[in-house]
Amino acid sequence: MLNKFLVAGAFMLVLVTWPGRQGTAADPSHDNAKPVPPAATTNVPAGAYTLDRTHASLIFRVNHLGFSNYTARFKRFDAKLQFDPANLAASKVTASVDVDSLETDFPDPARLDFNAVLKGAAWLDVAQFPRMEFASSHIDVTGVNTLRIHGDLTLHGVTRPIVLEATFNGGYAGHPMDPNARIGFSAQATLKRSEFGIAYGIPAPGTTMGVSDEVAVVIEAEFTGPPLVPR
């Protein structure tokens, strides 16, 4: 349930087909489609990046009765990133999630509005806590393209530290069909919902009869940045 973030989800870089855009080089389904130049992975500029919400996802999983890892998502969230490819540790990210955008894809809403159940007072209590927030505090570079993002997550009115294990998937400085810089990340985190005051349904010790305290968060995110500077 992040933002929480971010920070994002999560946080595979792809060249995209824009919604409603047809008959272009980005749409290989058309007979007249032109080859798309390969994405560069160098010369990504430093600067301010914003989340491309059409190419981002924020999902979470909880264990249900020990039988499955139940998966749901948030549909509305945003993030901002100050990114420096020459000094990844100096990068900063903030994120915000609209808790009311929870989507469980429950198959029969006429029988049970499961979204409403989880938004209710026993769980997320959207009426009182409509947003989740994440802000990074510092970043550790753990590999050639891996990062450990430390930050604070505010959820259900409680702020606690959380760590995102992130992979930088690459990027480019710009493209004839995508003139702004673009970068992509995947990220994962685990939190205990009881630490945020959401303890309903946690199994008794030694059993799996309930919904796990541990919540796995998965983020995929693309960000757009400064425009391509013509040479």
Residue 1 belongs to some domain of the structure: no
Record the pTM. Answer: 0.80
Q: Is 29 helix (H, G, I), strand (E, B) or coil?
A: coil
Residue 184 belongs to some domain of the structure: yes
Residue 18 belongs to some domain of the structure: no
Q: How far apart are CA 5 and CA 51, in angstroms?
A: 10
Q: Per-residue pLDDT tens, the chain, 231 aa: give them.
A: 433 333 333 333 333 323 333 333 333 444 454 443 334 445 899 999 999 999 999 999 999 999 999 999 999 999 999 999 889 899 999 999 999 999 999 999 889 999 999 999 999 999 999 999 999 999 999 999 999 999 999 999 999 999 999 999 999 999 888 999 999 999 999 999 999 999 999 999 999 999 999 999 999 999 999 998 766
Residue 150 belongs to some domain of the structure: yes
How confident is the model over 60-78, as pLDDT tens digits? 999 999 999 999 999 999 9
| β-sheet bridge partners, residue 211 | 64
Residue 23 belongs to some domain of the structure: no
Range of the domain at 81: 47-227
Residue 122 belongs to some domain of the structure: yes
Q: How far apart are CA 5 and CA 69, in angstroms?
A: 21
How confident is the model over 217-226, as pLDDT tens digits? 999 999 999 9
Q: How far apart are CA 88 and CA 227, in angstroms?
A: 20
Residue 120 belongs to some domain of the structure: yes
């060249």: which residue's tokens?
A: 15
CB 140 within 8 A of CB 8: no
Where residue 153 sits, what CATH number does that domain have? 2.40.128.110
What element of type H or E holds 119? helix 114-119
Number of domains forming the structure of the chain = 1
C-alpha to C-alpha distances, 8 to 25, 50, 147, nearest whole angstrom: 29, 12, 12
Residue 216 belongs to some domain of the structure: yes
